[in-house]
Structure 1
Amino acid sequence: MHVGTALAAIAPSFILILVGVLVRRCGWVDNGFWAGAEKLTHWVFFPAYLVHTIGSAGAMGSAARATVLVLGGVTLLITAGVVLGCRYRRVLHATFTSIMQGSVRFNSFIFLGVASQLLSPEDYGVAAVVVAYMVAISNTVVLLAFGNRGGSTWAVLLKVCLNPLILASGLGLALNLSAVSLPAALGQPLQALGAPALPLSLICVGAALQFPRAEFARLCKTGLLTAGIRLCLFPLLAYGLISTWSVPPLAATLVLLYSVLPCASNSYVLATQQGGDHRLMAFVVAVSTVLSFVPIFLVAGSL
Structure 2
Amino acid sequence: MNPVVIALFPVFGVIALGWLLRRSGLVAAPLWAGINRLSYQALMPAFLFVTISRADYDAVPAGSFMLAAAGGFIVMGALMLALRILPMPGPVYTSLFQGGVRWNGFVLLALAPAAFGEEGAALAALAFAPTVPLVNVMCVAVMTIWGASDHQPNLTRVGIRLVTNPIILGCLAGLAANLAGVFQSGPVAEALDLAGRASLPLILLTIGAGLNFTALRARPGIISLSVTAKLIVAPAIFLALGLLFGVEGVALAVLVGIGATPGAAAAYVLAREMGGDAEMMAGHVTATTLLAAITMPIWIAIAAS
Range class of TM-score, shorter chain: 0.7 to 0.9
- For residues 46 and 245 of structure 1, the distance between their equivalents in structure 2, rounded to whole angstroms, comes to 30
Partner of 2:130: 137
Please give the secondary structure, in 1, of the residue aligned with 2:61.
helix
Q: What is the CA-CA distance between 1:161 and the residue it aligns to?
A: 0.8
Distance of aligned partners of 1:80 and 1:8 in 2 relative to their CA distance in 1, 3 Å threshold:
same
Q: What is the CA-CA distance between 1:232 and the residue it aligns to?
A: 0.9
Q: What is the CA-CA distance between 1:127 and the residue it aligns to?
A: 2.0
Contact preservation (8 Å) 1:268, 1:278:
no
Distance of aligned partners of 1:10 and 1:224 in 2 relative to their CA distance in 1, 3 Å threshold:
farther
Q: What is the CA-CA distance between 1:233 and the residue it aligns to?
A: 0.9
Distance of aligned partners of 1:98 and 1:199 in 2 relative to their CA distance in 1, 3 Å threshold:
farther
Residue identity in the other structure for 1:240? A
Residue identity in the other structure for 2:133? T
- For residues 219 and 38 of structure 1, the distance between their equivalents in structure 2, rounded to whole angstroms, comes to 27
Q: What is the CA-CA distance between 1:70 and the residue it aligns to?
A: 1.7
Partner of 2:37: 39
Residue identity in the other structure for 1:229? A
Structure 1 residues 28-107: aligned runs within 5 Å: 28-61=26-59, 63-83=61-81, 85=83, 89-92=88-91, 96=94, 99-100=97-98, 103-107=101-105
Residue identity in the other structure for 2:74? L
- The question of 1:192 aligning with 2:202 is answered no
Partner of 2:121: 128
Partner of 1:268: 265
- For residues 291 and 278 of structure 1, the distance between their equivalents in structure 2, rounded to whole angstroms, comes to 20
- For residues 278 and 194 of structure 2, the distance between their equivalents in structure 1, rounded to whole angstroms, comes to 27
Partner of 2:297: 296
Give the length in aligned residue pairs. 290
- For residues 228 and 90 of structure 1, the distance between their equivalents in structure 2, rounded to whole angstroms, comes to 20
Partner of 2:235: 235
Q: What is the CA-CA distance between 1:290 and the residue it aligns to?
A: 3.3
Distance of aligned partners of 1:97 and 1:287 in 2 relative to their CA distance in 1, 3 Å threshold:
closer
Q: What is the CA-CA distance between 1:254 and the residue it aligns to?
A: 4.1
- For residues 227 and 291 of structure 1, the distance between their equivalents in structure 2, rounded to whole angstroms, comes to 9
Bigger drift between 202-211 and 12-21 goes to 202-211
- The question of 1:18 aligning with 2:16 is answered yes
Per-residue deviation, residues 62-91 of structure 1 (Å, max 9, x unmatched): 623222222221121112333554697554
TM-score normalized with structure 1 length: 0.77
- For residues 6 and 108 of structure 1, the distance between their equivalents in structure 2, rounded to whole angstroms, comes to 15
Structure 1 residues 128-167: aligned runs within 5 Å: 128-145=121-138, 147-148=140-141, 149=144, 150-151=152-153, 153-167=155-169
Per-residue deviation, residues 203-234 of structure 1 (Å, max 9, x unmatched): 2222223455xx54226444443332222111
- The question of 1:255 aligning with 2:255 is answered yes
- For residues 68 and 41 of structure 1, the distance between their equivalents in structure 2, rounded to whole angstroms, comes to 25
Structure 1 residues 277-292: aligned runs within 5 Å: 283-292=283-292
**5+ residue gaps, structure 2:** 145-151
Distance of aligned partners of 1:130 and 1:98 in 2 relative to their CA distance in 1, 3 Å threshold:
farther
RMSD: 3.5
- For residues 147 and 107 of structure 1, the distance between their equivalents in structure 2, rounded to whole angstroms, comes to 19
